[in-house]
Amino acid sequence: MSDYLRNQICRYFNTKEGCWYGDNCRFLHIPNKKPPCKFDDLTTGCCYGDNCHFSHDRTSFKSIDNYHIHNNHYDSMELIKGVSIQMFFFWFLMILSNIMR
């Protein structure tokens, strides 16, 4: 299983329907935690604002890291690597979109 996927919060776990995969899900199941919004950090921000289904809490990654350290799910360095790759990817897309304008 990809470490990148295990570092991502399941979009469906905290919904009314729940996650169909249960314990077999490849993503994290953290009670009452929404996945981070990938558009919130962009210069334009998220167009959904308070109605967004994802978290705009900038401490989300820190909270996830603390959750894993407390619950000993896996090495926190794996989480940091996954977040770093994700942040680099979004940074790269922002630069690329500015060049294409």
pLDDT in tens, 23-37: 898 888 887 777 777
End-to-end CA distance of the chain: 38
- Collapsing DSSP to helix, strand or coil, 49 comes out as helix
Q: Which two tokens stand for residue 37?
A: 């919004």
pTM more than 0.75: no
Q: Which two tokens stand for residue 26?
A: 């490849």
- Nearest alpha carbon to residue 93 among 14, 38, 25, 13: 38
Convert the pLDDT of each residue in 53-96 to its tens digit: 777 776 645 545 554 444 444 444 444 455 556 666 676 677 77
Helix and strand numbers (H, E) in the chain are: 3, 0
pLDDT of 59 reads 61
